[in-house]
Amino acid sequence: MLYWVRSLKGSWIARIFSVLLILVFIAWGASSALPLMTGGVNAVAHIGGKPVDLGIVQAEYQSELTKAEQTGMPDLATRKQIAQTALATVLRQQALLQEEQAIGIAAPDSAVRAKIYAIPAFQTNGAFDQAKFASVLQQNNLSQERFLALETDNVKTSQLIPALISGAAAPQELVSQIFSFVSQARTAEVVNIPVASQPTPPQPSDAQLQRYWKNHPAQFTAPAYRTVKIVVLSPEILAHNEPVSDTALQALYARVAARQSVPATRSVQVITSDSPSTATKLAALWKAGADWTKIQAAAKAVGASSVEIDHAQSDQIPSPALEAAVFAAVPNVVTGPVQGDLGSFVFKVTDAQAAGAPSLASLTPELKAQIQLQEAQDQVAKDVDNVQDALAGQTPLDQLPGNLDLAAVQGTLDASGNATDGTPAPIPGGDKLRAAIIKAIFAAHVGDPAQLVTGPDGGYFAFKLDSITPPAVKPYDQVKAQVAAAWTQDTRTREAEVKAAEILHAVNTGKTLDQVASAEGYSVSMSAPQTRMAQPNGMTSQMEQILFSLKLGQATMQQTDSGFMVAVLAKINQPTPAQDPTDAAQIQQSLTKSLQNDVAESFFGGLQARDKVSVDPKLFAQIYQ
């Protein structure tokens, strides 16, 4: 065999095989070295022919995802949207960076350092704190290198974008037109015709009532009802009956007290004077029995200052000398003068709270509820399997064992959770669990087997739908009183509408509102001025909208909650920018800002269109999946 192999070494087959083997190794090596040759970039996208590192986009995505998780866990669609936003942000940054490099914009290290040092979130007592800097970045899932790169880009951008948009400003004509639109105020003469003030109509005949009942079936239709048996397993229900031992209460208090320990605080009244002798005289007056009001007046008369500090921690008192004296002083005793870097202090501590945690007595109700809920949750966890086994064995709900901690109820309810008498059905559990049970019942079918369903707040429930009663018009004899009340209300409403329409017609054909209203026994009032941008004042939003379509002297009417309103446009007040320069300036600033944003967005869009963006969909999907 070895001889045969050696004999092949010189053959053309061996030579071809060797060449192929060499080519394979070259290709393998080239593919392995390619990232090194391109700078090690795992490019999720390219812009202007330059790669966008996947890691940079992932860092931006993670930062935004952390913010989103504060309101709940985002689903896949939301995560994809966050990833798209992160990619767009990075692409914009890259496009700007390339443009800044092309036109020679630089960010000196000193400028970047000064900008970072000036950020309040990184400061302690007004000075940059390296430990705080690192902590804040960690909380926001940012590395120092990434943050420095971002701030460097921001310094560069601050040189480019402001110069780009500074020339954009809102034209004065546009400002004036929008100011006129939003500031115009309209006032109307108003007459209200209440339904309640209309006379009660004569008693209707039975035939009238039956006709009304037939013509308005929706008003007298009973909703769909469902008759069910329900069992509920809920920690919230069980918690109230769980015993709490003193040992458990003390143990939880010890843990909570360690977390809720609070620093010592002092409330103090302080007099500060530049003159030690003046401070001494004020101290003597105060110690002699003068109250705080008199001491304040006396201090003001001699050029001293007075201040009250409430519940201050030691680092919140401005002078170290005063801080030490205040926290060493006996409460309600005038102390001083004390010399400090800001002058001579005389003070009285009015309240002193020692460092430590809240008392056991103050926390007992909360701690007891926590222990009870935890015990109940543990008990529910033990019961769940047994309930599921019983239901799997087709045990009827009303025959489930009594040791499973179930709350049971049977009855008939509508989709709003009300029983046939209109009162809330007595479904066990909290509001969220109750809503989940009702929703499940009205999605079920008669004959569906009872299954244990996981509900809100750690609860479980199962139900058996026995029957469905479809919506049906209630018999006339059963609702005759309701029909009579509805007929009477409709008749009075129609009477109020007729009177309002008569007043409207009279005004729009030449009479004044005051003349017509007085003849009908109604009074006229003047509405508050209405503007387009403010909430309606004394009228419906629809009436306000109509008011801005009327001519002076023109009338309109609108139904309200209590009747009908007739309104006549009486006055149009059109202020000028000169009369209200503050609002005019705000409008101009807002419009200018909007125009500048448009210019910046157009610039960004132009950069990305010019530089051509391509995205690797597979790598992009790795970010959010």
Distance, CA of 302 to CA of 340 (rounded, Å): 19
Spell out the residues 6+ positions from residue 168 whose beta carbon is closer than 8 angstroms to its own: 592, 595, 596, 598, 599
Question: Which residue type is seen at 593?
Answer: K
How deeply is 44 buried, as exposed, middle or buried, from its count of CB atoms within 10 A (0-12, 13-18, 19+)? Answer: buried
Contact 513, 535 (CB under 8 A): no
Instruction: Return the pLDDT at 49.
Output: 86
Instruction: Return the pLDDT at 29.
Output: 42
pLDDT tens, residue by residue, 69-85: 777 677 788 889 999 99
Predicted TM-score (pTM) above 0.75: no
Q: How many residues does the chain have?
A: 625
Helix axes 54-68, 76-103, angle to 10 degrees: 130
Contact 550, 507 (CB under 8 A): no
Helices and strands: H and E segment counts in the chain: 21, 20
Q: What is the fold of 262-353?
A: Chitinase A; domain 3 (3.10.50)
Q: Token pair of 580, please?
A: 């209200």
- Domain pair 185-216+478-573 / 262-353, same fold: yes
| β 334-340/343-353 pair status | antiparallel
Report residue 622 CA to chain centroid gap: 30
Distance, CA of 497 to CA of 559 (rounded, Å): 8
The single residue listed with the structure tokens 């804040």 is 136
**What kind of architecture, by CATH, is found in domain 185-216+478-573?**
Roll (3.10)
Give SS3 for 453: strand
Q: Token pair of 130, please?
A: 């390296």
Residue 41: φ, ψ to 5°: -85, 125
Instruction: Return the pLDDT at 434.
Output: 94
Beta bridge partner(s), residue 189: 526, 568
| H-helix or E-strand spanning residue 249 | helix 246-259
Distance, CA of 573 to CA of 548 (rounded, Å): 12
How deeply is 103 buried, as exposed, middle or buried, from its count of CB atoms within 10 A (0-12, 13-18, 19+)? Answer: exposed
Distance, CA of 186 to CA of 188 (rounded, Å): 7
N-terminal to C-terminal alpha carbon distance within the chain: 55
Distance, CA of 566 to CA of 500 (rounded, Å): 6
The number of beta carbons lying within 10 Å of the beta carbon of residue 195 is: 20
Distance, CA of 273 to CA of 276 (rounded, Å): 7
Distance, CA of 622 to CA of 619 (rounded, Å): 5
DSSP state of 472: E
Q: Could you tell me the strand order of the sheet in which 613-615 lies? A: 50-53, 43-47, 613-615
| H-helix or E-strand spanning residue 378 | helix 360-392
Contact 408, 229 (CB under 8 A): yes
> Which residues of the chain are under the pLDDT cut of 70?
1-41, 72, 260-261
Distance, CA of 511 to CA of 503 (rounded, Å): 9
Max distance between CA atoms of the chain, in angstroms, equals 131
Contact 243, 249 (CB under 8 A): no
Distance, CA of 240 to CA of 371 (rounded, Å): 10
Instruction: Return the pLDDT at 7.
Output: 44
Distance, CA of 430 to CA of 236 (rounded, Å): 7
The residue extents of the domains of the chain are: 2-37, 43-166+611-624, 185-216+478-573, 224-240+371-470, 262-353
Distance, CA of 248 to CA of 254 (rounded, Å): 10
